[in-house]
Amino acid sequence: MYPESGVTTVAESAVSISNYSVPDEDLPAFTDLEFEHINELHLDHPGANDPEYRKRRDYIASLAKNFRETGVITDVEYTPREQRVWRYVAEELEELQQKYASPFYLRAKRDLGITTDRIPQLTEMNRRLKELTGFRLAPIEGLVETRGFLSWLSYRTMLCTQYIRHHSQPAYTPEPDIVHEAIGHIPMFTNPNFADFSQFIGHGARIANDRQLEELGRLYWFTVEFGLVEHEGGIKAYGAGLLSSFGEIEHAFSDKVERRPFLLEEVINHEYTYSDMQPVLYVVPSYAELKEVTRKYIESF
């Protein structure tokens, strides 16, 4: 999942960032989530002209809506065709990831039971995340505006789509789908430092003014989506946009990309183009370092 830009929202006045773990009873009610028009399928989506796909996507989206009313996540009974899309993409990515992905990520994927065989359910990943870092996944039916999306991270909760991309173009999706969420994002939430870092971004989003919110969007982009990390003298990928895309992950390690050391001031001011391959990426020394730098930054708000 990634936030949608260009929507104006309102900051809260102050938020404490002292308490990392969030018990269930401290979560805001999911019924309070008011997201309008987030389930629109854009005309450039490969499934836009496939009525059967649209119906299926709408049905899976309706389960997310149902979750907000009941608080209960419904497992999706994925069809054989959906499972085939998953197997194809997951197997191709697995090969690339063996070469390029952060070893922590590769272990985490195994720990969470995310395999190439079948689409994992949010409920099963939630059970394991709860034990490891107290992070949670909550179903959502589409792109959410930046503040709304990032704010949920302050409750150690990530909003996740459950539907899968169209079978005609398994390597491509213009919107988040279960491949992007489960193969891209979810494994990293098993890392305590990464989970805390994500939560700090969430805290920041709740109190940020508009300029700070834009900066947070860039920080999120160059870390959670497109981040690289040092590993034993080399560089590995941990960003979801890299880990869930055949093209992006190879591009990230090609000579077409400048891989710079992570400097917060530079990252939060670096304007990026959403649709193009990234010409510049940033390498963090470690997830612990990323967490500490982000904590100081948010505390300066």
Is residue 226 within the footprint of Fe ion (CB under 5 A)? no
**Minimum distance of Fe ion from residue 227's CB (angstroms):** 11
- Is 185 annotated in the active site? yes
For Fe ion, the closer of residues 1 and 195 by Cβ is 1
CA distance 17 to 11: 16
**What CA–CA distances, in Å, run from 99 to 23, 96, 194, 205, 239?**
38, 5, 22, 34, 15
Is residue 2 within the footprint of Fe ion (CB under 5 A)? yes
Stretch that binds Fe ion, among 1-9, 11-19, 74-82, 257-265 (CB under 5 A): 1-9
- Is 244 annotated in the active site? yes
For Fe ion, the closer of residues 186 and 240 by Cβ is 240
CA distance 23 to 210: 29
**Minimum distance of Fe ion from residue 51's CB (angstroms):** 27
- The label of the residue with tokens 């959906």 reads 82
Stretch that binds Fe ion, among 18-26, 28-36, 127-135, 234-242 (CB under 5 A): 234-242
> DSSP secondary-structure letter at 121?
P
Dihedral class, residue 75 (left if φ above 0, else alpha if ψ from -120 to 50, else beta): beta
- Is 203 annotated in the active site? no
CA distance 97 to 246: 9
Strands 228-231 and 234-237: antiparallel
For Fe ion, the closer of residues 2 and 53 by Cβ is 2
- Is 166 annotated in the active site? no
- Choose the catalytic residue: 45, 166, 185, 203: 185
**Minimum distance of Fe ion from residue 248's CB (angstroms):** 12
Residue among 237, 240, 242, 293 that touches Fe ion (CB under 5 A):
240
Is residue 238 within the footprint of Fe ion (CB under 5 A)? no
Burial of 292 (0-12, 13-18, 19+ CB in 10 A): middle
For Fe ion, the closer of residues 21 and 228 by Cβ is 228
**Minimum distance of Fe ion from residue 47's CB (angstroms):** 19
Check: CB of residue 249 under 8 Å from CB of residue 298.
Answer: no
Q: Annotated active-site positions, please?
A: 180, 185, 225, 244
**Interacting residue ranges for Fe ion, rule: CB under 5 A:** 1-2, 240
